[in-house]
Amino acid sequence: MRSKREALALILGLLLVACSSGTVSTTGDGGTATTSGSGGTQATSPPAESADITIILAGEPTTLDPQIRDDGNERAVSDNIYETLMARNPEGELVPGLAAAEPTQVDETTWQFTLREGITFHNGEPFNAESVVASIDRIIDPDFASEQVSFFSTISGAEAVDDTTVNVLTTEPDPILPARMYWMKMVPATASGDAAFAENPSGTGPYQFVEWVRGDHVTLEANPDYWGDDVGNVTRVTYRFVAEAGTRLSALIGGDADVITNLQPEDVGSAPQSASVTGLEHPVLIINAMEGATADVRVRQAMNLAVDKQAMADELFGGNATVDQCQILSESFFGYNPDLEAYAYDPDAARALIAEAGAEGATVEVIGTAGRWLKDREVVEVVGNFLSEVGLVPEVQIFEFDEYLNRLFGDIRPPAIYVTSSNELLDADRQLSAYYHLDGIGASNDDAELAGWIDEARSETDVAAREGLYHQAVQKACDEAYFLFMLNINDVYGMSERLQWQPRVDAKILVKEMTVSA
């Protein structure tokens, strides 16, 4: 049997992944970002009066409608166009956004929001109670089929009390309703009903849409009528889309970009500046527990035992990742179970379980994408090689992101599909509703008992009881190996020398928080 390091060295060699000895400055549990450059700190030159910048994303948005798809590339752009009733400061604290204050709870299933006055959408429509009601009704409409619906699983509707007061209604008590409204972007009541809205966005945010040249770029410019303050000096931002990490880095070094996403850990030393922040992202494989070879729990457990997660964290991510403890949750999330431990790396035990299940030589289709998340293709291919080492036959398929989303959220569940799951709610309900619950939009199990616990926890107002329900839910999902649990990865960015910016713990790339030096 190969040693752990020998196995991973072989796989990384096959993938031609060049890992250097350089490391990224990482963060502790507090989540604050660290930034380094050739001088060790960010530039401190006086800011320019105004500036244009270029941000290179690893993939093109599938849409600019902020309510329909669960697409991080879309959010990277639309987070600057649209806003939400509640917001978070850079440290992650929940604060009022378009709401004038924190909401008040009228009764067990009604939360009342008072809205800021005098705000308009970029197209001139007023931001008011009507637009809030329209935004809520739109995103929860089953016919609209939003991929974000798991964020809003308790919301049943909204009603306008007056022009600046809205009641948000829930089907049951919901202790985290304010956090849900941090995620739901507000859209104009009239324009959002237009078929062209996805390509002609209009929000209340600090930047407004200029153009989208498909396959090349999206351009935004500063909103001269923006209601907020604390806006930097960037007056125009162009988003370009480059899947290949080396090409993104070359553009940054050559002065053709100010920010690049998914900076490879081995390239940190080559970037003019780099920044890393403890991320919300948890790469996993969702395993189909209902049919095929993976319907046997022994095969799913073997898949977990087959993968050396710590070696992936160390070698593939250059130390910019930690091993998940058998749950798709960070320690800072409500509902995290501190008693769980990761599956050990034990390929011999994995082979024995596969033999016991009669699954030697079974083909397991593993679906992934490339460029959306840090090392996404490499993770899928490395996992595929680990699985082949224990007697399975992985069939790795890498799809363009739009088609990948169709498979991730489609009715036909793949044997195994990669996803990097984030949780901006900082509460277990997000991941458990989306990926653990049998009715979840990305779930691949039919466990009614597990679903019952998740449903019960969602409306439980007793904090200890709610936490206990989540603990037993993630314990069962661990035991049943409904996922191939892997890592919690850092967000790593490359930046130009002239840019001053501290990445956020919620991974939002907010241009208004950037300053360009003269």
- 44, pLDDT greater than 60: no
- 341, pLDDT greater than 90: yes
* Strand-strand pairing, 217-222 and 207-213: antiparallel
pLDDT (average), residues 495-516: 94
- 6, pLDDT greater than 70: no
Which pLDDT band holds residue 267 (cuts at 50, 70, 90)?
very high
- Average confidence score pLDDT of the chain: 91
Burial 220-233 (b: 16+ CB within 10 A, else e): bbbbeebbbeebbb
Asked if 238 and 464 touch (Cβ cutoff 8 Å), the reply is: no
Which pLDDT band holds residue 90 (cuts at 50, 70, 90)?
confident
- 88, pLDDT greater than 50: yes
Radius of gyration of the chain (CA): 23
* Residue 92 pLDDT: 83
* Residue 8 pLDDT: 53
Cα separation, 277 vs 92, whole angstroms: 12
* Residue 45 pLDDT: 67
The count of other CB atoms within 10 Å of the CB of residue 173 is: 15
* Residue 47 pLDDT: 74
134 alpha carbon, distance to own chain's centre: 25
Cα separation, 143 vs 128, whole angstroms: 24
Cα separation, 129 vs 166, whole angstroms: 6
Taking the domains of the chain in order of start, what are their residue ranges? 41-60+205-277+492-516, 82-197, 286-490
User: What CATH superfamily classification does 41-60+205-277+492-516 receive?
Assistant: Periplasmic binding protein-like II (3.40.190.10)
Q: What is the pLDDT of residues 310-329, one digit of tens each?
A: 999 999 999 889 999 999 99
- 36, pLDDT greater than 70: no
* Residue 279 pLDDT: 84
> Which phi-psi region, left, alpha or beta, contains residue 381 (left: φ > 0; alpha: ψ -120 to 50)?
alpha
pLDDT (average), residues 51-75: 96
- 445, pLDDT greater than 50: yes
Asked if 328 and 435 touch (Cβ cutoff 8 Å), the reply is: yes
Comparing CA positions, the residue from 125, 127, 152, 118 lying closest to residue 138 is 152
Q: Which residues contact 152 (CB under 8 A, 6 or more apart)?
A: 139, 140, 180, 183, 184
- 287, pLDDT greater than 90: yes
* Residue 424 pLDDT: 85
User: What CATH superfamily classification does 82-197 receive?
Assistant: Dipeptide-binding Protein; Domain 1 (3.90.76.10)
Low-confidence winner among 47-61, 123-137, 194-208, 486-500 (lowest mean pLDDT): 47-61
Which pLDDT band holds residue 505 (cuts at 50, 70, 90)?
confident
426/480: higher pLDDT: 480
Classify burial at 142, counting beta carbons within 10 Å of its beta carbon; exposed 0-12, middle 13-18, buried 19 or more: exposed
Comparing CA positions, the residue from 209, 202, 200, 208 lying closest to residue 226 is 208
pLDDT (average), residues 13-21: 37
Identical topology for domains 82-197 and 286-490: no
Comparing CA positions, the residue from 213, 278, 265 lying closest to residue 503 is 278
Q: What is the pLDDT of residues 153-173, one digit of tens each?
A: 899 999 999 999 999 999 999
Asked if 386 and 308 touch (Cβ cutoff 8 Å), the reply is: yes
- 28, pLDDT greater than 60: no
The CATH number assigned to the domain with range 286-490 reads: 3.10.105.10
pTM of this structure? 0.82
List for the chain the helix, strand, coil content (%; round to 5): 30, 25, 45
Cα separation, 90 vs 491, whole angstroms: 14
- 15, pLDDT greater than 60: no
* Residue 5 pLDDT: 52
Q: What is the pLDDT of residues 102-145, one digit of tens each?
A: 999 999 999 999 999 999 999 999 999 999 999 999 999 999 99
- 10, pLDDT greater than 90: no
